Structure 1
Amino acid sequence: MSKRTLAILAALGANLIYAINHTVAKDVMPTHIKPFGFILLRVLGASFLFWLISIWAPKEKIDKKDWLRIMGGAFFGMCLNMLAFFKGLSLSTPIQSSIVITITPIVVFILSAYLIKEKIKGLRWFGIFMGFAGALTLIIFGQELRMDAPNIPFGNSLFVVNAIAYAFYLVIVKPLTAKYHVFTLMKWLFLFGLIMNIPVTISEFLEVQWSSLPFDASWRMAFVVLGTTFTTYLLNVYALTNLRASTIGAFVYLQPLMAIAFAIIVGADSLNVVKIIAACTVLIGVYLVTKKPKEG
C-alpha cells in the first residue's frame, strides 16, 4: 500500500471520528461538563499522551525560526478551533455543526494558494465546489438532528470561526511536517495549546463533579480525548506529510455524510433521495480533489 493511500485512509479515519464526535460530545454538554471545561480535558489528556509516546520517538531539536509557527499552529489548532467548536456545539446541533464546517476546504484552498504557494488547478477547483454544492444541498434540504439547541444562529457562527481556525492550522503546520516527526510536532503543539487554554477553561473544568460522573458521560469524555483529540490530530498530521493541505481540508466535506449516517444508525435521522444525491455529489467532489495531479 502506497504512502499516499495510507495518508488518504488516515484523513478518512480522522473525519469519521470527527463525524461521530458531533453527536457523542453533544450528549455530554452541558449536563456533565461545560464546553470550555471539555476543551481543557481534551488538551490536557492529549498533551499527556503525546509527551508519553514521544519517549519512543526520535529526539529532535526545534529550529528557533519554527517556534513562532508552532505557537501559531497551537493557537489556531488547539485553542481557537476547539473552543469555538465545542461552544458552538453546546448551542447548536450535531448535524448543523457537521454541515457548517464544510466551508473549511474553501478557506484552506485560499490560504494554501497565498501562504504556502500550493498550485491549484482547474479540476481540483471544480471538485472543491462540487463538494460544496453537495454540502449546500444538505444545508437547504437535509433534516437536522433534533437536540437541545438554545442558540443555533450563534452556535453556527462559532462553527464558522472553528472552520477558519482549523484551515489556518492545516496551512501553518503543513511545512513543519516535512521537517519533524509527527510525535515531536504534536507534543509541542499540544503543550502550547494547553498553556493557552488554561486561563479561559480552568473555571469550567473545576466545576465538574468527577467523582459522580455516570459511565455514559465517562466513556464519551474518553472518546473525545482518545479519539477526537489524540487519534485525529495524529492521523491528520500524518496525512499532511503525504497530501496537500487543501486535500486534507477537502475531506471535511465527508463529515455531514458520516454524521448523518451515524445519526441514522442510532435512529436519530433518516435517509431520503435528496441526501443520496447530495452524498454522491460530495463523494465525486472529494475524489476530484484527492486525485493525484499529473506531473508537468
Structure 2
Amino acid sequence: MQSFKPYLSLIFFALITGTTFHVAKEALTYFSPSLAGALRFIFATFFLLLFVFITNRKLLKVDRRTLLVFVSLGIIGVFGFNFFFFIGMQKASPMNAAIVIAASPAIAIFLSYFLLNTKVKIQHYLGTLISFLGVALVISDGSVSALVNAFHGEGILPILIAASCWSFYSVGMKKYIPGVSTIQTTAFTALFGTIALLVLTLINGDWNTEFSIIPNSAWLAILYMAGLSTFLGYLCWNFGIQAVGPDKAVIFGNLIPVIAMLTSWVLGETPNVYDLSGALLVIIGIFIVNAKLQWAKFDRRVEVSK
C-alpha cells in the first residue's frame, strides 16, 4: 500500500482543487482576484508554519542555499503562477485558460528531460496527449472551432507562462531540493510567494477594501481555499512530486477539470457524452503515463524518476 500513497495524494490534490472552482465564485464576488489569492495564501501560510512549529520546530531552520531555493520556487510557483494567471484571466475565457493549463504536463515532461535527465518514454508522450485531448473534450464539449479559437484568444500567453511557472515549480523541487521535507518545502515556498502576492496587492491598491461589509460566506470560501486546496492540497502535491517525480505526477493535474465537472453534476448540472468521454480519456492518459509498459522503452542510458 506504501507505493500507492503518492498517487492517492495526487488524486486528493485534484479532488480538492477541482471543487475549489465553485467555492472561489463566492470569494470573487467580494474580493478582487489578486486580493483573494493573497488572503488565501496568508491564511494557508499561517496554517503551514503553525503546523511546522507544532510538529517539528527544527524544520524552521534552513541553510542558506536551501533558503535561496525556497525563495526562488516561492516567487515562481506561488507568486508567478497567480500573477500571470490573473493577468491572463482578465481577457481569456475560463475554457481557453483551462485548455492551456492542461498543457502543463507536457511542459513538465520537457523540463524534466533537460533538468532531471529523465528518460522520456513513448508512453509519456502518448498518455499526455490522450489526457490533454480528454481535457479539451470536457471543456469544449466536442466543438472543434471552440478548441481552435482557444489558442487564438486574448490572454493566452500569460496563461501559458503561468502553466510554465507551475511546471518549473514542480520540477524544481525534485531538481534543487531533493530529499527536503515536504512540509518544510511547502511552508517556505508558500511564505515567500505570499510575501510577493501581498506586496502586489499593496501596490495595485486592492488592499483598500471595506472588509467590514464582507459577508461570512466569502470569508468561509477564503478559509476553505486556504485550509484545504492550499494547506492540505499543496502538501499532497509536493509529496507526490517528491515521491514519483514530476514527469509522472503533473498529469494528475488534468483531473482537476474532470473533478470540477463532476462537482457540477452533484450540484445539479448533468454532464453530456463529451464530458464523460473526456473524463475517461483523462483517466486512461494518467494510467498510460504511470503504467510500467516495457514496450515503451527506447533509451536505456538515463533512469526514470523514482
TM-score where L is the length of structure 1: 0.86
* Residue 77 of structure 1: how far off its partner (Å): 1.3
In structure 2, do the counterparts of structure 1 residues 83 and 167 end up closer, same or farther at CA, with 3 Å as the change threshold?
same
Q: Please give the alpha-carbon distance, in whole angstroms, between the structure 2 residues aligned to 1:205 and 1:234.
A: 28
Q: Please give the alpha-carbon distance, in whole angstroms, between the structure 2 residues aligned to 1:270 and 1:122.
A: 36
Residue correspondence of structure 1 range 250-261 to structure 2 within 5 A: 250-261=251-262
What are structure 1's unaligned runs of at least 5 residues?
144-151
Q: Please give the alpha-carbon distance, in whole angstroms, between the structure 2 residues aligned to 1:90 and 1:49.
A: 30
Q: Please give the alpha-carbon distance, in whole angstroms, between the structure 2 residues aligned to 1:214 and 1:122.
A: 51
Which residue in 2 is equivalent to 1:243? 244
Q: Please give the alpha-carbon distance, in whole angstroms, between the structure 2 residues aligned to 1:106 and 1:241.
A: 18
Which residue in 1 is equivalent to 2:147? none
Which residue in 2 is equivalent to 1:20? 19
In structure 2, do the counterparts of structure 1 residues 19 and 62 end up closer, same or farther at CA, with 3 Å as the change threshold?
same
Match of 1:37 among 35, 41, 45: 35
Which residue in 2 is equivalent to 1:59? 58
- Percentage of identical aligned residues: 24
Number of residue pairs the alignment of both structures matches: 285
What are structure 2's unaligned runs of at least 5 residues?
144-151, 301-306
Contact 2:27 2:36 in 1 (8 A): no
Q: Please give the alpha-carbon distance, in whole angstroms, between the structure 2 residues aligned to 1:84 and 1:22.
A: 18
**What amino acid is the match of 1:10?**
S
Which residue in 2 is equivalent to 1:148? none
Residue correspondence of structure 1 range 40-189 to structure 2 within 5 A: 40-55=38-53, 56-57=55-56, 59-60=58-59, 61-89=61-89, 97-141=97-141, 153-154=153-154, 156-175=156-175, 178-189=178-189
Q: Please give the alpha-carbon distance, in whole angstroms, between the structure 1 residues aligned to 2:239 and 2:292.
A: 17
* Residue 79 of structure 1: how far off its partner (Å): 0.2
Q: Please give the alpha-carbon distance, in whole angstroms, between the structure 2 residues aligned to 1:72 and 1:11.
A: 23
Contact 2:129 2:285 in 1 (8 A): yes
Which residue in 2 is equivalent to 1:6? 5
In structure 2, do the counterparts of structure 1 residues 227 and 91 end up closer, same or farther at CA, with 3 Å as the change threshold?
farther
Helix, strand or coil: the match of 1:59?
helix
* Residue 273 of structure 1: how far off its partner (Å): 1.7
**What amino acid is the match of 1:279?**
A
Residues 24-79 of structure 1: per-residue CA shift (max 9 Å, x gap): 213322x3110111121122112211111111126145343333322221112110
Contact 1:22 1:94 in 2 (8 A): no
In structure 2, do the counterparts of structure 1 residues 200 and 123 end up closer, same or farther at CA, with 3 Å as the change threshold?
same
Which residue in 2 is equivalent to 1:146? none
Q: Please say if 1:218 is aligned against 2:216.
A: no
TM-score where L is the length of structure 2: 0.83
**What amino acid is the match of 2:42?**
L
Contact 1:102 1:252 in 2 (8 A): yes
Q: Please give the alpha-carbon distance, in whole angstroms, between the structure 1 residues aligned to 2:170 and 2:38.
A: 21
Contact 1:19 1:259 in 2 (8 A): yes
Q: Please give the alpha-carbon distance, in whole angstroms, between the structure 1 residues aligned to 2:89 and 2:221.
A: 15
Shifted more, 82-91 versus 222-231: the winner is 82-91
In structure 2, do the counterparts of structure 1 residues 231 and 292 end up closer, same or farther at CA, with 3 Å as the change threshold?
farther
In structure 2, do the counterparts of structure 1 residues 53 and 293 end up closer, same or farther at CA, with 3 Å as the change threshold?
farther
Residues 222-264 of structure 1: per-residue CA shift (max 9 Å, x gap): 1111122111111111112211102221011111211111122
**What amino acid is the match of 2:20?**
N
**What amino acid is the match of 2:213?**
S
Shifted more, 20-29 versus 115-124: the winner is 20-29
Q: Please give the alpha-carbon distance, in whole angstroms, between the structure 1 residues aligned to 2:256 and 2:200.
A: 28
* Residue 165 of structure 1: how far off its partner (Å): 1.1
